[in-house]
A and B are shown apart, each in its own frame.
Chain A
Amino acid sequence: MSEINSATPAGGHSSESVMSINDVTVLFSGKAAVRNVSFEVEPRKVTSMIGPSGSGKTTLLRSMNRLHEMTVGATLTGKISLGGVDVYSSEIPLTVLRSRVGMVFQKPNPFPTMSVFDNVASGLHFMGLKNRSFIEESVERALVSAALWDSVKDRLKNAAATLSGGEQQRLCIARALAVEPEVLLMDEPTASLDPIATQQIEELTQTLKDVLTIVIVTHNMQQASRVSDNCAFLLMGDDRAGELIESDTTEKIFNNPKDPRTVDYIAGRFG
């Protein structure tokens, strides 16, 4: 991170981005959900996407590991790259992309028929990894990283559904971590959790950024200011498509935003 690239569309934070979003428009059956969004995701930092409902935060997040393609009729223009390689090119097969860019969802969604251990190991199993000791070590590392190891190490064989909501969400984070992603996408990961579980997840983001990059969508501006280093603010445009209003360091977005709409949103005047 020694070079400074002032030409980044995001407006001047440091370069060597791990993911870059370049003039991205996502359409569902021809109708734009986000339009012409560009910003850079810096490595080993937490980038938050904030904005009211319908501003396209989730759509944008899902397009970063191509999950938006689950929706029939979804198309994307522009370029999203991971380490300089277009994620929509054949250079990165979908399976590899999703192992490099993981996803944690709004509601905890552990696989109900699997044990705690099998949930965490599932990604490795899907890829056909058979090495027992590697998998066991991966599961332990992932659970330790997700701050869940101490509370579940004696019940790894239990059904995942027996965990509490907060534990289930950390299990889902561990599941995503087990395939050693470089980027972790989090879509309102605390929306269905109580304040204590929320705090635990927030603290987790701060330790996880030592080894990976996090992009987090949140409705909660306090959360964005607490956990993120950089921040992108999106808003629904006139044609109901989400647009990027500005992106910068979280400190600048919250203390010295350039756009009056950002000022209003941060001040809680709408949204």
Chain B
Amino acid sequence: MSTVTDSQSGLTDRRDIVRKAATASVARRELWSKFFLGSLSVALIIAFIPLFSILQNVIGHGWHYITWGFLTQSQAQPSLFAMKTIGGIGNAISGTIVVDSLAVAISIPIALLLAVAFYDVRSRWSRAIRSLMETFIGLPSLLFGMFIFTLFVASNNGITKGYYGSLALCFIIVPVSAINALAALESVPATLIEAGLGLGARPSRVMWRIILPVARPRIMTGLFLAFARSVGETAPILFVIGVSQQASYSLNGSQTTLPTMMYDYLTGSYPSQRVACWGIALVLMTSVLVLNVISRIFLARANK
């Protein structure tokens, strides 16, 4: 068949050839499909083994710590005569709440302003600052701790304060939530913006009344993800907030958070404290999980 023919018999032949190829491809596809499904299952199992064993260990070793006393009492120092004394983690919970809350409170306006500024100013400068933000996300968080330590603690006779930790955590929260918020703003359809501008609205009005409300669920998702990340951060706050063995909501004094308490306990000399870390880990894991679920809820709302 070298010439194009529209003859009926030619068409039937061609249909036959294509149908045969299609039929033959079915068997081949099914075989490949089985092969890939098998490989995927194996990969899935391999991926789940470490995840599952972490969960199993944390829950298995940690769940019996979860009592009202453990969650509310302050820590107690074990001694040679009372090796098993650990008290509770109430001081670390209160510390985590105040340190992280202040960090979020400082970060939200900064992140939003940055996102709006990046969105609006599409100059070379804003692109440069944007990639700087992206670099910040990848930096080891210990650097931020070192920066705050040098700036405040070292120059202040080594006095540690809770709000130093909040400041250090801002370096974690701001870049993540600003980049997320920017993506949220950019996901607002241009037609909506044009509809607003077409009514004669000022750009600031369009931002305030149209873009931000539409983007809000996605912005919230980013904020909660950043918050969840900061709750688990240890390195930036370890050397700047010190230790507070009593529950305290003061940010002007030393503070203890769940991760720094874990660090203290793991590097301490009492086995009972090391074992109690499973309990702290379970509390930490659960709170991060809750924050992630909240962010998912916002995301589901955004995609509705």
Interface residue? A180 (CB, 8 A): yes
Q: Which residues of B contact A211 (CB under 8 A)?
A: 6, 11
Q: Which residues of A contact B23 (CB under 8 A)?
A: 93, 96
Range of interface residues on A (Cβ < 8 Å): 20 to 34
Interface residue? B17 (CB, 8 A): yes
Partner of A179, one of B4, B6, B18: B18
Residue contact A134 to B4, C-beta cutoff 8 Å: no
Residue contact B21 to A140, C-beta cutoff 8 Å: no
Residue contact A128 to B25, C-beta cutoff 8 Å: yes
Residue contact A137 to B25, C-beta cutoff 8 Å: no
A-contact 0/1 string along B1-44, CB 8 Å cutoff: 11010100001001101110111111011000000000000000
Q: A127-B25, A180-B11, A211-B11 are in contact. Are A141 and B4 (CB under 8 A)?
A: yes
Residue contact A180 to B14, C-beta cutoff 8 Å: yes
Residue contact A96 to B14, C-beta cutoff 8 Å: no
Q: A127-B25, A211-B11 are in contact. Are A99 and B19 (CB under 8 A)?
A: yes
Interface residue? A67 (CB, 8 A): no
Interface residue? A42 (CB, 8 A): no
What's the nearest-Cβ distance from chain A to residue B304, in Å?
A: 15
Residue contact B1 to A124, C-beta cutoff 8 Å: no
Task: Give residues of chain A (10-37) contacting chain B, Cβ–Cβ below 8 Å.
Answer: none
Task: Give residues of chain A (126-174) contacting chain B, Cβ–Cβ below 8 Å.
Answer: 126-129, 133-134, 137-138, 140-141, 144
What's the nearest-Cβ distance from chain A to residue B212, in Å?
A: 31
Q: Give the residue among A134, A144, A180 with the most B Cβ atoms within 10 A.
A: A180
Task: Give residues of chain A (96-138) contacting chain B, Cβ–Cβ below 8 Å.
Answer: 96, 99-100, 124, 126-129, 133-134, 137-138
Partner of A129, one of B2, B6, B18: B18
Q: Which residues of B contact A182 (CB under 8 A)?
A: 15
Residue contact B22 to A137, C-beta cutoff 8 Å: no
Residue contact A127 to B22, C-beta cutoff 8 Å: yes
Residue contact B1 to A137, C-beta cutoff 8 Å: yes
Interface residue? A89 (CB, 8 A): no
Residue contact A124 to B21, C-beta cutoff 8 Å: yes
Q: Which residues of A contact B4 (CB under 8 A)?
A: 137, 140-141, 144
Q: Which residues of A contact B21 (CB under 8 A)?
A: 124, 127-129
Q: Report the Cα distance A128→B28, complex, angstroms.
A: 10
Residue contact B18 to A99, C-beta cutoff 8 Å: yes
Residue contact A100 to B25, C-beta cutoff 8 Å: no
Q: Report the Cα distance A180→B18, complex, angstroms.
A: 7
Residues of B at the A interface (CB closer than 8 Å) are: 1-2, 4, 6, 11, 14-15, 17-19, 21-26, 28-29
Name 6 A/B residue pairs within 8 A (Cβ), A-sorted: A95-B26, A100-B19, A124-B21, A127-B21, A134-B17, A211-B6
Residues of A at the B interface (CB closer than 8 Å) are: 93, 95-96, 99-100, 124, 126-129, 133-134, 137-138, 140-141, 144, 179-180, 182, 211
Q: With A99-B19, A127-B21 given, can you name 5 additional A-B contacts, CB distance below 8 Å?
A: A95-B22, A127-B24, A128-B24, A129-B21, A182-B15
